[in-house]
Structures are given as C-alpha cells and as structure tokens.
C-alpha cells in the first residue's frame, strides 16, 4: 500500500493505492462526506489481487483543503485526476453515501467508459444542502466521530454553499456498464423500497441488494457480509 498524490488544478488530491497489477477490473472507491481513505484501507487487501485506489476528495483525509471550490464538478474532477495519475483504465467506481454522487460524476465524465458503478446507500442525485445545514452537519456522527472532528468547519461550510441540487436519475441510462445499488434493511437506510423503484425506472437492468442488519453504514461492523454482496458483482464484471 502506498499514498499517492495527484494534481487537480493546483489542489493536491491524496489516494491510497495497493498497486496490484492483475487482470481483474480495478476498483476506485470514493468515501462519503467527511470520511477518509484510511477508513476504507481494508479494501486494499480484502479484494485480493484486484487493483484498488481509494480517493480522498478535497477537504478530506490527506488531500488539500482549498478555501473555495467544492462543487459537484470539483469533487468528481478530483476522482478523475486520481484515476489518471494512477494510470488506471476502465475501473469499477464505487461511491459511499454522498461519495456516490462524485462516483457517478466521474463515471459520466470519464474519458473512457468505466466497467461498472457501485452505489452504497444513496440516491442518484447530488444533494443540494440548505444554507443553514453547516451547524447540524458538524454534529452528525459516523463511526463514533462527529463531522467537526473529521473536516474543518470552513470546508463543511463551503461544501454546503456549493452544493447545488443536481438530479442524476435521467443520466443513469448514459452509463454503458453494470450498476449495483446496495442499501440497508434498517431504519436510517437511504435506499428504501421507493428509491429502489426509482432506480429500476431509470435503469431497468440495475442490480440491487439489501444488507438486512445494517442501516446507512453498510460495512463497518460486518465487512464479510458486505463483501458477500460486492464480490459476486465484481466477479461478473471480471468474466466479461
């Protein structure tokens, strides 16, 4: 495992790379709001011989945190810059929570078609946040840590200010690749039955899965069960 840094218009973007060079489809993971690549480092070994790159988008983890520039375009541009720097071609892109919007953006704007997209408990939209959302966001907790402990408050404020509502449902048909949407089975999961139906209307061939004992955080307390959903999807892609 190594830390690598890509340049995106003067902003240094950090990623973790297992540097595997096997024949399996590479996986690029995009953590959610306030999450860092370090929290997803388990993927670097858990996916075997597969190349895995985990990206810290701007303002998170070890990436730069500029004073301005936190739009959807800036974020998915960070992902594409990290992919290009790593020399990865045609990856599967996985997004966790709000990182799913950045993963979808990267897949839609990739210079070459991606091999698959995985969405961890999120809708097909870049969610526009209310102007007064910063205060309550800073108090939210993920795996025992508040967002205030994970991101600088000034960065959270800029993410909120730059967070235009961008529906992506109609754009799912542009993705010429398999799509997997994973939700939880408990209260707090974003991918409800209604959201699953929205995905099916937008992409009739979408694959969906539900991890019954989890809510929004799909994997941290039971990685084997999560891998039991993810790995078969990746294996089907490898076989094509």
Asked if residue 189 is part of any domain, the answer here is yes
Domain that residue 87 falls in: 2-235
pLDDT tens digits along 140-167: 999 999 999 999 999 999 999 999 999 9
Asked if residue 75 is part of any domain, the answer here is yes
Question: Are 65 and 56 spatial neighbours (Cβ–Cβ below 8 Å)?
Answer: no
Please give the angle made by the CA atoms of 237, 8 and 22, to the nearest 5 degrees: 30
Residue 86: closest CA among 149, 142, 5: 5
The per-residue pLDDT for 1 is 78
Cα distance between residue 62 and residue 204, in whole Å: 38
The per-residue pLDDT for 22 is 87
- CATH code, domain with 151: 3.40.50.1820
Asked if residue 33 is part of any domain, the answer here is yes
10 Cα distance to chain centroid: 22
Mean pLDDT for the stretch of residues 124-137: 95
3-state helix, strand, coil in the chain (%, to 5): 35, 20, 45
Asked if residue 240 is part of any domain, the answer here is no
Asked if residue 196 is part of any domain, the answer here is yes
Helix ranges restricted to H, 98-221: 99-109, 134-139, 147-150, 153-161, 193-202
The per-residue pLDDT for 94 is 98
How many structural domains comprise the chain?
A: 1
Cα distance between residue 240 and residue 219, in whole Å: 27
- Quote the pTM value: 0.97
């Amino acid at each position: 495992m190594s830390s690598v840094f890509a340049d995106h218009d003067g902003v240094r973007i950090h990623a973790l790379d297992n540097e595997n060079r096997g024949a399996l489809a590479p996986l690029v993971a995009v953590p959610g709001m306030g999450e860092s690549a370090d929290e997803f480092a388990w993927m670097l070994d858990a996916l075997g011989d597969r190349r895995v790159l985990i990206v810290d988008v701007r303002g998170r983890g070890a990436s730069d945190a500029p004073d301005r520039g936190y739009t959807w375009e800036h974020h998915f541009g960070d992902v594409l810059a990290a992919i290009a720097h790593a020399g990865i071609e045609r990856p599967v892109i996985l997004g966790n929570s709000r990182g799913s919007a950045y993963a979808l953006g990267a897949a839609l704007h990739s210079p070459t078609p991606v091999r698959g997209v995985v969405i961890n408990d999120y809708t097909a939209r870049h969610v526009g946040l209310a102007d007064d959302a910063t205060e309550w966001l800073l108090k939210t907790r993920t795996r025992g840590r508040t967002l205030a402990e994970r991101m600088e408050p000034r960065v959270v404020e800029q993410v909120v200010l730059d967070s235009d509502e961008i529906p992506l449902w109609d754009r799912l048909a542009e993705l010429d690749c398999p799509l997997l949407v994973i939700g939880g089975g408990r209260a707090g999961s974003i991918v409800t039955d209604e959201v699953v139906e929205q995905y099916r209307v937008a992409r009739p061939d979408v694959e969906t899965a539900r991890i019954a004992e989890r809510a929004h955080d799909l994997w941290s307390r039971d990685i084997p069960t999560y891998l039991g959903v993810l790995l078969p999807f990746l294996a089907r892609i490898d076989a094509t």
